[in-house]
Amino acid sequence: MRRSGKRSAFLILEEYEHYLALQKRLSEATIEVYLFEAGLLLEAFEDPELVTVQEIEAFIIASSEQRSLSPRSIAKTQSALRSFFTFLQLQKIRADNPLSLIRTPKKEESLPQVATYDEIEHLFSVINTADYLGIRDKTLFEVIYSCGLRISEAASIDIEDYQDCQLRVIGKRNKMRLIPVGEVAQASLAYYLQEARPHLLSRSKPSRALFIGRRGQRLTRQAISKRFDEYAALAGLTISVHTLRHSFATHLLQSGADLRSVQELLGHSDIQTTQIYTHVDASTLQRFWEEFHPD
């Protein structure tokens, strides 16, 4: 393991975090991943200025095998490290970016997981709304589905972001969008805001967050995901909270929405990202044809 007297790993990561947040304006979730990958690299090589392409390639292979990463996840790891070495170049710590010489593995083509209308209704039906947390959870997941939110977006919503039946959402790269809220979710929000949220608020620490925990604190992405997984297991469904976003997009297209509108609602910068849902819709139609066609 090499040591450098130039700059500590802690200081490098601290400056890198500022770079990602202030200059690249990445989301909190992406910053967390990028810092994690950079931290692993600095644990293995304390002087990033001297590490070779061959050493980085061996490191990526060993780290990927240890964590059982898929080709898609390996590609994300390489993207994170490429960003880190770009930062090192800007800081004059390193002259080149060794990741430019490492081939990115071909990503597996996989369609997003989508739940049917009936499955989503069943999921919501197993949530016990006899207590305040149940009311909150049902409202939270109805809003995520109604608006096609990322989990990080749902966690970051403030109470003033919901006005006039619309939700103001800050997405990736701090891009703001307004999303109409469906009637079912509107009714749930009204009930939650009147009957549940006031009882969850802490008198000593007021919260701006729309969705809060039993002590009035903002719900984290991890807490939202954990609660969803519990309800999905209770409903006998093998889906994740992100499935609600995928289902939102697919159901809109199935109902005749145009691709450009769905792109805007999802907050995608590139319409090609949205086009994958047209393939999901086509595969759904194929399954229906195979099941019900008389031939």
Calculate the alpha carbon distances from 286 to 256, 280, 283, 293 in Å.
Answer: 17, 10, 5, 10
Distance from C-alpha of 155 to C-alpha of 217, rounded to nearest angstrom: 11
Distance from C-alpha of 154 to C-alpha of 224, rounded to nearest angstrom: 9
Among the ranges given (70-84, 223-237, 263-277), the one the predictor scored with the smallest mean pLDDT: 263-277
Among the ranges given (113-122, 231-240, 275-284), the one the predictor scored with the smallest mean pLDDT: 275-284
Average pLDDT over residues 202-224: 90
Judge contact between 169 and 161, C-beta under 8 A. yes
3-state secondary structure of 254: helix
Nearest one of 190, 99, 100, 175 to 142, comparing CA atoms: 190
Catalytic residue set: 150, 172, 242, 245, 268, 277
Q: What is the pLDDT of residues 143-186, one digit of tens each?
A: 999 999 999 999 999 999 999 999 999 887 778 899 999 999 99
The domain 117-292 belongs to what CATH superfamily?
Answer: Intergrase catalytic core (1.10.443.10)
Query: Where exactly are the structural domains of the chain?
Result: 9-101, 117-292
What six digits make up the tokens of 91? 């800081």
Burial 83-117 (b: 16+ CB within 10 A, else e): bbbbbbeeeebbeebbbeebeebeeeeeeeebbee
3-state secondary structure of 165: coil
* CATH node for 9-101: 1.10.150.130
Amino acid identity at 98:
P
Residue 106 predicted with pLDDT over 70:
no
| pTM, 2 dp | 0.66
Q: What is the pLDDT of residues 230-274, one digit of tens each?
A: 999 999 999 999 999 999 988 888 888 888 888 888 888 777 777
Average pLDDT over residues 41-53: 89
